Structure 1
Amino acid sequence: MKKILKLFGLLLTLTMISSTTALASENNYRVSNLIGVEQSEFEQMIAEIQSIKTAHPEYTEEIILEIMDEQHQGRERGIADIWNALTDSEKKLCIRYPFDALKVNTAKNIATSQTEAKFGSNGLGDRSDAFRHGIWNAEMAVLIGKEKAEMFATAHEDKDVTGNESDGYPKVAHKDMDLHNNEVGRTIGEKNSGASEDEMADIIYQNIYSGETQFIWLHE
């Protein structure tokens, strides 16, 4: 495996520019105003995955996952920081659907920026948390379809739920809340697929403050 990693180190150096260009042309979708450094690094991470898949189409997801894990083991900055923050389920989906993963990350950036704009911060377990998950899933439903949006959103919640979160509430309660709000958001996104980012944010914001909202949160 170490010999393979050395070969891929050289391969990735030679192909990163062309791979990133190919990803940019393939990934033609609505772009958020908030992209920033993390989006660029995420694109580089996907380019690494795509380079491995192109060079060795016979490799399984498990082999590519092992290569990527070893490539970024023990590192804490840049691409490694993003890769290591993903759940194993998310990593496998990034390998299986690399171009969709880029759109998922764009939807995440939209959700983060719109939550900041509407609430002033991105909270945990509160109404802003419900809003963030709602608009993230709504935008994913628009960008990659409801079915794949559910796959990525559920993979994101594939974490250890032992103990409590920093707000004092059980992690399992947070997971249940997030999974529920994800589904509500995807339904809204599917019904309002022609809405702009700002329009979608307004729709979800108004919904979450209505008396008949299906969104849930643990505390104010």
Structure 2
Amino acid sequence: MKIKLNQLSKITLFLFSLLLLSCEKDENSPSNIEKNIKREVKLSEIPNLFNSIQNRQHNINHAKNSTDYLSLINTESITEISQSNGNKTYTFSLNINETDTLTNLVAIENNNGFDYHLVQYSSSQLEQWKDDIHNHQNTNVLVDVNNIPLSSYTNSTENICTETGWTCPSGQHNLNSLAHCVYPFIEWSMSTYTVPCDDNSGGGSSSGSNNPNPIPEPYTEPVFPTLSPEIAIFIANLSPTQTIWWNNADNNVKNDILNYLTQNIKNGEIKTEAQQFINELIGVLAANPQTIYTSTDYPGKNNGMPFEWWKDNDYMTSNFEVLEEDPNPAELLAFSLFPDKALLHIQNSTTALNKTQQLVLNNTLTGIEDGRADAFRHAYWNALGTAEFGSNITQIFTDAHEAYSSGLPRQMDLHNNLKGREKALIMSFNFLTSDSVIADSILIEVYVGHLLFILNGVLTPTD
């Protein structure tokens, strides 16, 4: 549903005429707008909304065609508008990069919790429009309001209208937008509420007084995305090559990276390990343009995997294991960016585990947990990946696997991972090199003490 906000004086005249001719004035008149109280809040200040978002994020269906908007909210900029009737609306900007469009997510408080809507503002001169708003100047912008499939109303059998502003005159329904009604409004604050449509088609008159059980009208204002200081500093410190890549990168990829960094902010800082991982990742992405796949040609198709499985975290978590562990968020991010290499990498983890278990069973090695066998497993795993698709992407995958480890086990694994990659490069292993040749080479590394294991709480050479 789209409406256009024109010059304030013209809209005021139009609405005044419309009000006199065909509309019934309600409690949400302009005079009541002044009674609304607006303030900026933190998500921690609104625990009910926080819990609602957490629950919905957990339950959202990550189907390939769905978008998890709640995972994109920017918690640094939340506008709360409290009305005189006690209702509240919370407006979030989203961590997405857009051209000529500003998208907000609006959480509307109701008796059952919260209802969610997307509000999109479109302008060919968005930055100028932003300045106009801040300077209280008249401007033009196209507004699109849609209820999204996070709403408690999606289980209702009734057709739903998302209405904006004043009472809707007859004939202003948009039949191509799930029967949403179209309403103009005179303020930058745009009011929205949800009511059952008049009939199944959504057509006909839509007087607010004739709609049963209307939800009291909450308000929203445009909220522009603001990067957290931690994220802004990180981006500012990218190298020139990384900055060029960042400025030209796909918005979805950038959003995934921003979300990962945001999840790793603690005590006002991005975790060092997360910064290092993303720095490496951006470097690899800059040197390895992503492949564009189609529904008839994509990795995993011949194995019966669904198209774009790499965009479905639930699918990957349910179907993949890496060294007998579910993939962590860093691995999921890496897999989403390099899905073809990810399938080889996951298979390599199984190959490395099976070979290690064989060596333990025949008493060649001992200690599959932090022992010599574990050292072999990690080095062999990295050598296999380096042989098949190079050391850089292999390092991204295996560093991601260690993203949430710590202490001596982390140091041990990172060291042995590196030694495996180095050995594969020195020996010029490639995809034609047999697994047995690579395994024998890594076994020698164990015997000569180039790998490390933990003995009595100390990192110790494996010889």
TM-score category, normalised to shorter length: 0.5 to 0.7
Matched, 1:94 2:335: yes
Unaligned runs of 5+ in 1: 10-17, 27-39, 50-63, 73-77, 162-171
Task: Please state how far the C-alpha of 1:199 moved relative to its aligned partner.
Answer: 1.0
Contact 1:20 1:44 (8 Å CA) reproduced: no
Of 188, 196, 204, 2:423 maps to 188
TM-score (norm 2): 0.31
Contact 1:44 1:79 (8 Å CA) reproduced: no
CA separation of 1:203/1:48 partners in 2, compared to 1, >3 Å: closer, same or farther?
Answer: same
Matched, 1:133 2:378: yes
1:158-177 aligned at under 5 Å gives the runs 158-161=403-406, 172-177=407-412
The match for 2:453 is 217
| Residue deviations 1:158-207 (CA, integer Å, cap 9, x gap) | 0153xxxxxxxxxx100000000000000111223053100111111122
- Paired AA for residue 204 in structure 1: I
Q: Which has the larger radius of gyration?
A: 2
Q: Which runs of 4+ in 1 moved over 4 A?
A: 1-7, 18-21
- Paired AA for residue 402 in structure 2: E
Task: Please state how far the C-alpha of 1:130 moved relative to its aligned partner.
Answer: 0.1
TM-score (norm 1): 0.62
Of 440, 456, 461, 1:202 maps to 440
- Paired AA for residue 107 in structure 1: N
Counterpart CA distance in 1 for 2:384 and 2:349 is: 8
The match for 2:207 is none
Q: How many residues align?
A: 162
RMSD, aligned CA: 3.4
CA separation of 1:3/1:86 partners in 2, compared to 1, >3 Å: closer, same or farther?
Answer: closer
Unaligned runs of 5+ in 2: 1-56, 67-293, 456-461
Of 3, 8, 15, 2:65 maps to 8
CA separation of 1:82/1:46 partners in 2, compared to 1, >3 Å: closer, same or farther?
Answer: farther
The match for 1:167 is none
Q: Which has the higher strand share?
A: 2
The match for 1:178 is 413
The match for 1:23 is 299
Task: Please state how far the C-alpha of 1:114 moved relative to its aligned partner.
Answer: 1.4
| Residue deviations 1:127-186 (CA, integer Å, cap 9, x gap) | 00000000000001011101111111111000153xxxxxxxxxx100000000000000
The match for 2:390 is 145
Q: Report SS of the residue matched to 2:453.
A: coil
The match for 1:56 is none
Counterpart CA distance in 2 for 1:209 and 1:96 is: 37
Counterpart CA distance in 2 for 1:209 and 1:95 is: 37
CA separation of 1:124/1:22 partners in 2, compared to 1, >3 Å: closer, same or farther?
Answer: same
- Paired AA for residue 48 in structure 1: W
Q: Percent identity?
A: 22
